[in-house]
């Protein structure tokens, strides 16, 4: 344990130039006294760690000291070679740089780990786009925006809002502080701060029509957490499009299938509120005859489901057939009743072309 901690301390000091005892203690999950002992041990081993005294003091490596990656393990090496999505690197214009970096890391590894990159590539492939979607062309201005993100430089960006391609308003332009890029299901998004508004917004890169560098740097908010921001925005967006509600009576089979035909999060929330979901209520919900969640008597359960619109709900819930009964609103229930009567006439005795064809 101590050997691993000492290596981590050296790598931290290489990366951050200088750190206080409190910062090292927090990173290494030890006391400041243990940090002091570890620093002495490194000095005795020949690692040039220098301690600056005083209130603003800390620890740093002297003379540009660097350690080789010979202490990396096989699992760590293979994980390193899996850490990038190839298509994302190509889109940002970093494919050559990534290839050179992998070559340098491979050269620094001990001989018995030199095949780590081949081992990882032969066993795992990361494919970012979703199923049944044509490959997206690389957004024209993605490399320029990526450069600005890396350098913390403001940009003047022209953006085509949704629907503008159908004769709507022309692209709007504004100055932005580009904080980060997100690749979601094959689509690139820019997270940027709007200085005039003092807030961060999300822009689809395939709607960007022009980017100009201003040559000015912005001071990045070091407290900003890109993954946390994206998760919060994604949840808010998913919730915002669910503007209607429907009341359903579901059989056990319908409960199991609901999350596969409607918004997954909305379905799970509806089932959980009814005491039949995968959340807290699932543990106490009795099982039906086929092992699925069911009501207190093992029968159907009534749920209130958030949906995008009644038209979307009709198309989605129709896939559940007799496993779902729409109770409210009345207009949607009437549409299902009409559909049921039509299907009954199509599939009733003596009707349909299929029966004639099989005679």
Q: What is the pLDDT of residues 78-115, one digit of tens each?
A: 666 666 667 777 787 777 777 777 766 776 666 677 67
pTM of the predicted structure, to 2 decimals: 0.58
Predicted local confidence at residue 234, as pLDDT: 87
| 266 membership: H or E segment, kind and range | helix 264-273
Give the residue-averaged pLDDT of 234-239.
83
Distance CA 199, CA 191 (A): 10
Q: Which residue has the tokens 């409960």?
A: 255
Token duo for residue 99? 């290839």
Distance CA 61, CA 145 (A): 34
- Cα three-residue angle 238-142-211, rounded to 5 degrees: 105
97 burial level (CB within 10 Å; 0-12, 13-18, 19+):
exposed
Q: With beta carbons less than 8 A apart as the criterion, state whether 102 and 81 touch.
A: yes
Q: Give the Å distances, CA to CA, from 169 to 63, 159, 165, 256.
A: 58, 11, 9, 44
Q: Say which residues have a Cβ less than 8 Å from residue 109's Cβ, sequence separation at least 6.
A: 69, 70, 72, 77, 116
Show the domains of the chain with their CATH numbers.
2-61 (1.10.10.10), 74-122 (no CATH), 141-160+173-239 (2.30.30), 242-278+299-347 (no CATH)
Predicted local confidence at residue 287, as pLDDT: 42
Q: Which residue has the tokens 């690749």?
A: 183
Q: What is the pLDDT of residues 266-275, one digit of tens each?
A: 999 999 998 8
**Confidence tier at 288 by pLDDT (50, 70, 90):** very low
Query: How many CA within 13 A on the CB side of residue 151?
Result: 14
Secondary structure letter of residue 89 according to DSSP: H
Q: Does the structure show a pLDDT above 50 at 283? A: no
Predicted local confidence at residue 293, as pLDDT: 45
Distance CA 345, CA 80 (A): 61
Distance CA 340, CA 347 (A): 10
Sheet-wide strand order for 172-184: 199-204, 187-194, 172-184, 153-159, 208-217
**Confidence tier at 282 by pLDDT (50, 70, 90):** very low
**Confidence tier at 14 by pLDDT (50, 70, 90):** confident
Give the residue-averaged pLDDT of 159-170.
64
Query: How many CA within 13 A on the CB side of residue 3?
Result: 2
Q: Which residue has the tokens 């979307």?
A: 312
Predicted local confidence at residue 289, as pLDDT: 42
pLDDT, mean over the chain:
81
Q: What is the pLDDT of residues 185-231, one digit of tens each?
A: 888 999 999 998 889 999 999 999 999 989 899 999 989 999 999 99
């Amino acid at each position: 344990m101590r050997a691993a901690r000492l290596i981590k301390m050296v790598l931290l000091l290489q990366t951050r130039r200088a750190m206080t005892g409190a910062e090292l203690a927090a990173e290494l999950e030890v006391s400041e006294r243990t940090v002091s002992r570890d620093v002495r041990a490194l000095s005795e081993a020949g690692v040039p760690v220098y301690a600056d005294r005083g209130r603003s003091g800390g620890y740093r490596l002297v003379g540009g000291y660097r350690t080789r990656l010979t202490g990396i393990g096989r699992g760590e090496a293979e994980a390193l070679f899996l850490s990038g999505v190839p298509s994302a690197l190509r889109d940002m214009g970093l494919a050559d740089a990534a290839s050179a970096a992998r070559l340098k890391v491979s050269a620094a590894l001990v001989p018995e780990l030199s095949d780590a990159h081949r081992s990882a590539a032969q066993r795992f492939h990361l494919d970012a786009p979703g199923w049944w979607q044509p490959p997206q062309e690389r957004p024209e201005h993605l490399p320029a925006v990526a450069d600005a993100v890396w350098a913390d430089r403001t940009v003047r960006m022209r953006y085509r809002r949704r629907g503008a391609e159908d004769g709507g308003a022309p692209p709007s332009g504004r100055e932005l502080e580009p904080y980060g890029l997100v690749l979601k299901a094959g689509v690139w998004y820019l997270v940027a701060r709007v200085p005039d508004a003092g807030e961060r917004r999300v822009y689809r890169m395939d709607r960007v029509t022009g980017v100009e560098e201003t040559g000015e740097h912005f001071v990045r908010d070091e407290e900003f957490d890109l993954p946390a921001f994206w998760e919060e925005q994604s949840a808010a967006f998913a919730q915002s499009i669910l503007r209607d509600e429907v009341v359903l009576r579901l059989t056990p089979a319908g409960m199991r299938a609901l999350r596969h035909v409607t918004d997954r999060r909305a379905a799970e929330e509806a089932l959980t509120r009814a005491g039949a979901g995968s959340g807290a209520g699932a543990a106490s919900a009795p099982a039906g005859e086929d092992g699925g969640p069911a009501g207190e008597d093992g029968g159907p359960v009534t749920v209130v489901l958030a949906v995008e619109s009644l038209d979307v709900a009709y198309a989605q819930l129709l896939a559940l057939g007799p496993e779902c009964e729409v109770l409210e609103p009345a207009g949607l229930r009437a549409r299902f009743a009409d559909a049921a009567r039509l299907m009954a006439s199509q599939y009733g005795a003596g009707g349909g072309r299929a029966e004639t064809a099989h005679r």
